[in-house]
Amino acid sequence: MSSDINTTKMDAMVDDQPKKLHIAMFPWLAFGHIIPFLELSKLIARKGHRISFISTPRNIERLPKIPLDLAAFITFVKLPLPHLENLPENAEATMDLPHHIVPYLKIAYDSLQEPLSRFLETSTPDWIVYDFAPHWLPPIAIKLCISRAFFSVFSASCLGFFGPPAESSVMEDAIHPKGMRMEPERLTVPPKWITFPTKVAFPLFVANEVILAFFEENASGISDWFRFSKMALGSEVMAVKACMEVEGEWLKLVENLFNLPVIPVGLLPPSGEGQLVHDDHKDSAWGTIVEWLDKQEKGSVVYVAFGSESEPSQEDFKELALGLEQSGLPFFLVIRKQNLPESEDSDEQIPEGFEERIKDRGIVWWGWAPQVKILGHDSVGGYFTHCGWSSVTEAFQFGRPLIMLPMFGDQVLNGKLLEEMQTGAEVPRNEQDGSFSRESVAKTLRLVMKDAEGQIYRDKAKEMMTSFGDKQLQYRYVDKFVEFLVNHRRVMLATKG
């Protein structure tokens, strides 16, 4: 009799233990998305859950190696990307392409529907965590009884500004009512559903571009807004790369607007150099870079980089370079091939004589650079950035104030949010055409880096270290997300049973 009782107790204890999950991760084919998905995967795997990380062969090959203690928990699933006539050979990510070709990458991505369906059917994960792009995925997951989570790598303020899909909105003045032509002016002011003061909105010159890129049907046959809408409506929970300490008001707004659980997963600070895509460049580059940085005064250097995909026009790049020269500040300028307009000879993009004139106080670095290491060096005092959310996260780990030149979409909204937070200053631009001058670049650089009236930016950026730089705080957000996944799945299975 006692043996039966003990057996019953043991069974109850086993039932009380949280079940280890199998989670499939399916990011969009852009490294600004793939890397946060991978960072989130690693943190979930540290809790003992199994990850199937799904992407294309070349993208997976370009990822950093998984730490040995996690290798048993993360499996990379390679789905070959079909070749399309409009896509260059071996182009499997947005960084491999000029912007106008990206819609064709979406066509290729959509063709992964069948192989992904086969994988999900045979591997039966508990959850699939997906990006904004695979609008066809939620019905497949529902049919296979796989729980669904939408992970947004965009800031909460960006999500809050655009609001929910029109067809789910309770608001009469949704930002893009179904079937209506979007008016650019609607994007130049905060929408009415934002219940707190903010300047987060687009200047007119960007608003027109956003409508074309996000709301209008592209070569893939649908708009990105359609993709986003279907993913949001088909999800059981939305995870956001954000934290309450930075975007608390916005996160609460997003949860109200979307009418589903919205869970911040933290800012996913990079776990060492592992978050960087080396792209065949050698680590020996750091030796050359640090030798130069070590010779500079503490906090004197401006680090200048615009991510792997932002592309200043030739005229903008010229004004940027000459503004750096005019500022009189030491700088480290990173130029990736993708950062320049298409040209046979990249050297043509640099103003004549520029490198010779600045050789005593500036570096022009062609190709990949170890961004996190550079930002962490004591000689770096500020970051001239395009305001990509991942880049901002890296800068604030070290309390670096920002000189901002956002170029498109979410970058612009991020810039407005960061200006409100007084963590940096944006280079003034013409509201109609987006142009700026070398003089405005130089003035903004000196303001943020040296001038007395710019001390507020330097102080506020240092304050950001208490949230962006506290990895334990950020990891606790992932713990709460995992707890939700476990509990939700348990309730679902119990209800089904």
Active site members: 33, 131
- Strand pairing report for 147-152 and 127-130: parallel
Contact (Cβ atoms closer than 8 angstroms) between residue 206 and residue 163: no
Task: Give residue 1's Cα distance to chain centre.
Answer: 59
Which among 317, 296, 286 is positioned nearest to 360, based on CA atoms? 296
Enter the tokens of residue 377: 């060096």
- Provide the CB-side half-sphere exposure for 366 (13 A, CA): 8
Token look-up 């010159």 returns 205
Task: Give residue 182's Cα distance to chain centre.
Answer: 25
Give whole-number Cα distances, 146 to 21, 125, 126, 234, 489, in Å.
11, 7, 5, 12, 9
What H or E segment, with its residue span, contains residue 22? strand 22-26
Measured in degrees and rounded to the nearest 5, phi and psi for residue 117 equal -60, -45
Which among 420, 419, 373 is positioned nearest to 397, based on CA atoms? 373
DSSP helix/strand/coil, 470:
coil
Enter the tokens of residue 52: 């199937």
DSSP helix/strand/coil, 49:
coil
Q: In what order do the strands lie in the sheet with 424-426?
A: 362-366, 331-335, 301-304, 380-385, 402-404, 424-426
Residue type (1 letter), 375: L
How many residues are given for the chain? 497
Which among 227, 241, 236, 242 is positioned nearest to 260, based on CA atoms? 236
Q: How far apart are CA 304 and CA 383, in angstroms?
A: 6
438 Cβ neighbours under 8 A, 6+ residues apart:
319, 320, 322, 323, 325, 326
Give whole-number Cα distances, 422 to 383, 392, 401, 417, 427, in Å.
14, 13, 9, 9, 14
DSSP state for residue 177 in the 8-state scheme: -
